[in-house]
Amino acid sequence: MRKGVGKSERDPNNSTNRNDNRYSADSIVVRSALESVRKRPAMYIGSTGDLGLHYLVYEVVDNSLDEIFGFGDRISVVVHIDSSVSIQDNSRGLSIEKHPRDGRSASELALTELCRGTPGRRGWPGLGLSVINFLSEWLRVVIWRDGNRYEQEYNRGVAVSELRQIRKTGRHGTKITFKPDPEIFQVTEFNFRMLFQRLREVAALNPGISIVVADERSDKSNEFLFEDGLGGFVSALNKNTTVLHDQPIHIVRSAGQEDHLGIEIAIQYTERHSEIICSFANDLQTADGGTHVSGFCSGLVRAINDYAKSSGALASERKEPAAEDVFEGLVAAVSVKLAQPCYEGCTKARLASKVSEQVEAFVYDGLMTYFDKNPVVARRIVGNVISWACKAIDHGLDR
């Protein structure tokens, strides 16, 4: 018998007996969505530290992108002195229509219910806004729609006012202001640099959309607008770096009717001694990579080695460069857009969808075509790769 097991646990007539096979509805603990999210926030946002804190902002921005598509062109993110943050867009504005059975407005449902609405571009229906609301000390929403301004307030996920029509207006859009709850988060101070980096990526992934980030605590502000998508993004990353070719290699494949897979890559070689590969799936940063990155790397290595051999740049007796040599000095961005993305983990940091073969084929074919049309750039890249391979051999590295 285990130490500490008392008579009440051993008594067959006791209702709390662990061996009791009786099971009823009373045995089930039912929690509301609000209780579930606040009890285990890391299940929804990954952590209650810096990453989880900033994830709140990214989710609201992603929601704005869904709303703004086809209706507007600007999103602003402002960190206030009290460490609250506002995200405002010029979209059509969140819907204010009342649900026919529930009676609440569509905006209130989006802010208080999990998995409401239809899937957005990221394949996750209606989860974000409610989670932000549940994990905030307070949240205020302003909606400009149909010629009117509406407002509503929440306290730790609970509405403390009705959605009120304030006045007439000619504006359109949504503004959400919230303050992360110190009862939930270990850190409640936003890091401007983290917001800067992520919002620059978001702007690059959505050409033509202007994204402004400002910090009232330090008077810092930046505006990002990339008409050239990931090509402009890679150029920005290499702004103060010596590059081997002036313009990034930028290749785009629109989603086809059969596979519904869109692919975009941009690469530029530099004199760095390491690589940078930024990856995205449905506009979400996949910090841990995934199948799209595996496909990109395979296609890149194969294309450079094949071109090196076919162009005569690689001596017949020389062993082809290893993958490590191909990645030296590489700065790249890889993005895929697919209908039903599958991720590993709740924060979607790694793509699991089976797209590796399609991405590899696209990258290989696209680069080989580019190399054939731009032999000067191709030889410069291949020469750099072979140079790194020779250095590895000279230093006795086993590759």
The answer to whether residue 124 is domain-embedded is: yes
Mark whether 237 and 282 lie in a shared domain. yes
Give me the CATH number covering residue 255.
3.30.230.10
Mark whether 207 and 279 lie in a shared domain. no
The answer to whether residue 354 is domain-embedded is: yes
Q: Which of 224, 244, 260 is the last residue of a domain?
A: 224
pLDDT of residue 69: 84
pLDDT of residue 392: 63
Mark whether 196 and 269 lie in a shared domain. no
pLDDT of residue 117: 44
Mark whether 216 and 90 lie in a shared domain. yes
pLDDT of residue 101: 77
Which pTM value belongs to this model? 0.79
Mark whether 144 and 160 lie in a shared domain. yes
Q: At what angle do helices 230-237 and 192-205 cross, to 10 degrees?
A: 140
pLDDT of residue 317: 53
Mark whether 306 and 209 lie in a shared domain. no
Mark whether 286 and 381 lie in a shared domain. yes
Give me the CATH number covering residue 70.
3.30.565.10
Mark whether 271 and 309 lie in a shared domain. yes
Q: Which of 170, 195, 224 is the last residue of a domain?
A: 224
The answer to whether residue 54 is domain-embedded is: yes
pLDDT of residue 10: 39
Mark whether 52 and 142 lie in a shared domain. yes
pLDDT of residue 314: 76
The answer to whether residue 21 is domain-embedded is: no
Domain tally, the chain: 2
Mark whether 60 and 138 lie in a shared domain. yes
The answer to whether residue 92 is domain-embedded is: yes
The answer to whether residue 2 is domain-embedded is: no
The answer to whether residue 26 is domain-embedded is: no
Q: Which of 183, 198, 224 is the last residue of a domain?
A: 224
The answer to whether residue 24 is domain-embedded is: no
pLDDT under 70 in the chain at which residues? 1-31, 115-127, 257, 316-318, 346-347, 392-399
Domain with 129, as residue range(s), is 33-224
pLDDT of residue 398: 55
Mark whether 117 and 183 lie in a shared domain. yes
Mark whether 220 and 254 lie in a shared domain. no
